[in-house]
Structure 1
Amino acid sequence: MSDADTASRFVPAADGLRLHYRDVGRGAAGALPVVCLPGLTRTTADFDVLAAHLAGGGAAGPPRRVLSLDYRGRGGSDHDPAPANYSVPVEAGDVLAVLAAADVPEAVFVGTSRGGLIAMVLSGIRPGLVRGAVLNDIGPVLAPAGLERIRGYVGRLPPPRDWDDAVRTIQGYAGAQFTGLSAEDWLHFARTTYVERDGGFAGRYDPALAEGLRALDPSKPLPVLWDQFAGLSAAPLLVVRGENTDLLSEDTAAEMLRRHPDAALFTVPGQGHAPLLTDPATLARIADFARRCDEARPEASAAPSARLY
């Protein structure tokens, strides 16, 4: 894959806000594109390794076109002057705007945390769009302990002084979650979390995102999303769960597999919320799943030679 096969693109949202996405690879005939949706404060940078793996072909299967999105207020997308628009319904609409501009009528979705919630919503409002879903450490029920931990650091941490300080900062809130990372992994984690700007360091998201988290009342039960999850039942599902996660419980993961007719669970050892999707085993598992989704498409199922038995 050449540099010419990788591009940053910008499209307007329905309200005119400028949205950024990364477009990697050209994709082989018959290979579904993959759309990557990041977590609450995360960006397209989280998927650079996965995108290169899937777009490169070879052992990963047929080369794929991979799109990864920055929601409004994150990465290269414009900040929204109305923080109330930092919501799953609005961001789902933004995803649809990007896919329309990119001419992607169907895809395999990889949704990390909030991205998985958006994938569930999309499956309900646009049947046929989601031809397969990888839910990365997210489900219809959120464990309160994990949500409280996230509330404790989003928008609350001082900017780091240098990359070593950035690593220490992340280890402070995620060290117990990620017990199997190397020094190189931690530096990668830091570089996808912060950006050097104007001689200093900054997060890759609008701090106003924290307002939505602070508005949650910890004394009240969190809403459950089993109805939205049911929208994914028409396509294969891969649940990726961090071994040390505090957001997706074992019971919720098991119930997801029980309710879905074509689901599998993949546990990432030594990682928590949310797995980084950069280790060889996880990359290979997602590539295998994408091939499974190619075969499961209605057109592929109808062809006598679509699968070997």
Structure 2
Amino acid sequence: MTVPAASTIPASDITMAADAFGDAADPPVVFLHGGGQTRHSWKSTAADLGGQGWYSLTVDLRGHGDSGWSPDGRYGLDRFADDVIRIVDFLGRPPVLVGASLGGNASLAAIGARPDLALGLVLVDVSPFLQPSGTSRIRDFMVSHAEEGFGSLEEVADAVAGYVPHRPRPNNLEGLRKNVRLRDGRFYWHWDPAFMGSPEDQAVQRNQLIDPAHLGAAASSLRLPTLLVRGGESDVLSVDDSVRFLELVPHAEFATVAGAHHMVAGDDNAVFEEVLGDFLERRVRSRLTLLEGRQT
């Protein structure tokens, strides 16, 4: 596997951590993880693409992994969208944005604000329309043990196994250290607890990261190559949700990864890479060739 080059990317009030794979002269692809994940969830895919003529950048979103936490504890969709714009400005040229869940909607919101931001958009099990029962299940998991933490990596593994029972429990628990922080002898989830919402948000049951009207408007304005990937067993993005998105974005392509749940790449990375690689080669490289032809 390619050894990544570590980078830091400045945002308005924090610094984001990133890893880069491949030749910086190649077309860029930026991978943005879902809520509660880190840039490491994309490592295998990014490394493979880095060896196939793409410059892959995986980024920890604010409040996650090794990136900074919002000083004021605020994590609205607008903050994440602005960070996506900062990432593209850091690159200095439009990339393909590949976003899972939160990373996908942040990318969509950013393109809505700046239509020329990207070469293409890949949404992984996310759209402006989602199932409340699925998003509630994610929230319940993320807030569990947020205050008391865990006494051992075994306890962390038990919690993860309960959340994704369809996956085998890992024999080597060292990989879980990327998902937690050790403090005062106990392990805590790696994300800022404030990410799950301020007290006033919780009091009115308002999810500041889901905005169907705003995101729907952004989706209807898309004019770039777009791919929606759904996990066949997802309880977050339903078939009907996917149809609604495709009605808004009729030029978009759609793919289902059979047997995968909400964390598609983690459940079946081989199939996901095949779907993504095909889209990049057919749609994005051809668009790059067209753009280069116009410039000559």
Q: Identity rate of aligned residues, in percent? A: 29
Give the secondary structure class of the aligned counterpart of 2:99. Answer: strand
Structure 2: state its 5+ residue gaps. none
Partner of residue 76, structure 1: 66
The answer to whether residue 16 in structure 2 is matched with residue 19 in structure 1 is yes
> Could you list the runs of 5+ residues in structure 1 that have no partner in the other structure?
58-62, 305-309
1:279 aligns with 2:265: no
Quote the Cα distance in structure 2 between the aligned partners of 1:69 and 1:48: 10
What is the deviation of 1:110? 0.7
Q: 1:202-259, CA deviations, whole angstroms, 9 ceiling, x for partnerless residues?
A: 322111112257355279xx74232121233x12222111122111111011222233
1:252 aligns with 2:241: yes
Moved more, 46-55 or 195-204: 195-204
- 1:283 Cα shift? 1.0
Match of 1:43 in 2: 38
Code of the aligned partner of 1:202: Y
- Please give the alpha-carbon distance, in whole angstroms, between the structure 2 residues aligned to 1:102 and 1:51: 16
Question: What do the CA deviations read for 1:80-132 (whole angstroms, capped 9, x no partner)?
Answer: 22112x111112212222322232x2111111101111111121222222221
Q: Secondary structure at the match of 2:90?
A: helix
TM-aligned CA distance change 1:280 to 1:184, over 3 Å = farther
After superposition, residues 60-209 of structure 1 pair within 5 angstroms as 63-84=53-74, 86-103=75-92, 105-157=93-145, 158-175=148-165, 179=166, 181-184=167-170, 190=176, 193-194=179-180, 200-209=186-195
Shift of 1:27: 5.1
- The 3 A distance-change label for structure 1 pair 169 and 148 is same
Structure 1 residue 9 displacement after superposition? 1.4
* Greater relative contact order (Cα < 8 A, sep 6+): 1
Distance apart, 1:286 and its partner CA: 0.8
Aligned residue pairs total 285
Taking the aligned partners of 2:282 and 2:151, their CA distance within structure 1 comes to 45
Q: Deviations along 1:145-172, whole A, 9 cap, x unmatched?
A: 0122122122322534444432220122
In 2 relative to 1, CA 87–223 (structure 1 residues): closer, same or farther, beyond 3 Å?
Answer: closer
Contact 1:69–1:95 (Cα < 8 Å) also in 2: no
Contact 2:120 2:225 in 1 (8 A): yes
| Contact 1:243 1:268 survives alignment (8 Å) | yes
Q: Does 1:230 align with 2:220?
A: yes
Residue in 1 that maps onto 2:290: 300
Q: TM-score, normalised by structure 1?
A: 0.81
Tell me the secondary structure at the aligned position of residue 57 of structure 2.
strand
Q: Following the alignment from structure 2 to structure 1, what is the Cα–Cα distance between the partners of residues 251 and 171?
A: 32
Q: Matched residues in 2 for 1:50 and 1:216: separation?
A: 39
